[in-house]
Structure 1
């Protein structure tokens, strides 16, 4: 609740500063419309904005699922199979070194102007923070815990499942916090390069026609989507790793209750 109040207060302060700039500097409407003009456009163009938003939301949702799944599996595979990981991880780093934005035209060429290229673009932006954070969390397991696990004659994969993965979940959550708000960026960049719908496509059209109020309206929706994704991650984080947020140990450290034996 406190974080929500902070966001609302920051939003109000930003709108007041924006209105003050418009009143004091009086910039041309096509350069900087007033906040109330953007609000009016949000209402007047609500149907069109809703249609284009649905396209972008679909791309973001599918890209988020694909990016998180492939990132987590890649990070887990690199640690679970060290020899294969020694080959796989350098390839991931090479791909990460390439500017993702520069790959957008190539993705449109490969996957077309439809949904697929935008989903892949969003997934790529999400993939790297998730894979890096999860792999790093798996590798940073306390060696003493691994030694204690080895004393129980647990196999490599048993230790991975019951010790390393639970302890790496907070790192995965951190990766999600970084990655999730970036998903709309990937989808919009893909729409800028080539699309027939979506908020990015709408922004290109509005810019060409100097409809700055419509451009700002699309930006406002994207900002709301980004904040919603961050809030969603904050909501599911305690379920993914409750021991990182509450005073309770990870599952493998929980002791079963002592059984009582009757005497006499």
Structure 2
């Protein structure tokens, strides 16, 4: 905890020094950002924007989970499926989200559903990979013993694979929540919406640098909160697995 506090103090000191050298237009002082944050909260626009972006990000993460989990299971249990799908999964990471967004608009139109789909595409890959690694890392002797006891595919999935691979899945989800927020904000830039992305765009057009920094602070804190929640769930799942 102490190193993190020391780093935060060092960043604030460097930030204050840089703001004095560069000027408020390029780099507002921390005090100016705090004032902008207070003004933003006073307007009543902040919480609805957080809710809009967080809601779209959550929808995208949920969609990614629904698709990624069965696909990860299929990749682990079917060599032809793994050989066919894994190269395309890896190649998909070379395409930036900004390049995908216009295509999604062309296919699905404007709206929060399209933005959620963009967020899902970003979250999808880490969940597939970490879940597949978790399933592949299960003790073969445990699986063999369960099969000897008469466990079929469904019982193995429910009682062995799901509990033991849960920490790996949550690790992928933990990495994905920040990407979901990124996808939601990028989507709001390109597709439109009422969230933090549109708030950033509005502040950019007004050259409101302090407001931009304030919104970025809010976005960072929101992502960190979601990350911490999933991290707690991951630690709890890991403790349950060790019992």
* TM > 0.5 fold call: yes
Rg bigger for which structure?
Answer: 1
Q: What does residue 30 of structure 1 align with?
A: 25
| CA distance, structure 2, for counterparts of residue 193 and residue 226 of structure 1 | 20
Instruction: Name the residue aligned to 1:112.
Output: 109
* Distance of 2:235 and 2:90 partners within structure 1: 30
How far residue 83 of structure 1 moved from its aligned partner, in angstroms, is 5.1
Matching residue within 213, 232, 235 for 1:216: 213
Find the counterpart in structure 2 of residue 92 from structure 1: 89
Going from structure 1 to structure 2, the CA distance change for 1:7 and 1:124 (only over 3 Å counts) comes to farther
Q: Is the 8 A contact 2:18 2:27 kept in 1?
A: no
Moved more, 128-137 or 194-203: 194-203
- Answering whether residue 53 of structure 2 is matched by residue 43 of structure 1, we say no
The alignment status of 1:142 with 2:139, answered yes or no, reads yes
Greater Cα offset, 113-122 or 7-16 = 7-16
Q: 1:193 matched to which residue of 2?
A: 190
The number of residue pairs the alignment matches comes to 241
Q: What's the TM-score once normalised by structure 1's chain length? A: 0.80
CA distance in 2, matches of 1:172, 1:79: 14
Distance 2:109 2:5 in 1: 40
- Give the corresponding residue for 1:178: 175
Q: What is the alpha-carbon distance in structure 2 between the residues aligned to residue 154 and residue 51 of structure 1?
A: 49
C-alpha displacement of 1:239: 4.1
Tell me how far 1:236 sits from its aligned partner: 1.6
Cα distance in structure 2, aligned partners of 1:122 and 1:163: 30
Mark the runs of 5 or more structure 2 residues left unpaired by the alignment: none
Shift of 1:234: 1.6
Q: Which sections of structure 1, spanning at least 5 residues, go unmatched?
A: 250-264
Runs of 4+ deviating beyond 6 Å: none
Distance 1:107 1:133 in 2: 26
Matches within 5 A, 1:1-264: 2=1, 7=4, 9-23=6-20, 25=21, 27-46=22-41, 47-80=44-77, 84=81, 86-244=83-241, 248-249=242-243
SS in 1 for 2:194: coil
Moved more, 46-55 or 116-125: 46-55
RMSD: 2.4
Q: CA deviation at 1:210?
A: 1.2
Cα gap change, 1:155 to 1:86, in 2 (>3 Å): farther
Offset at residue 111 of structure 1 (A) = 2.6
Question: Can you list the C-alpha shifts for 1:165-210, whole angstroms capped at 9, x where unaligned?
Answer: 2221121122122111221111111112131422112212222221
Contact 1:121-1:187 at 8 Å conserved across structures: yes
TM-score relative to the length of structure 2: 0.87
Report which structure shows greater RCO (CA 8 Å, sep ≥6): 2
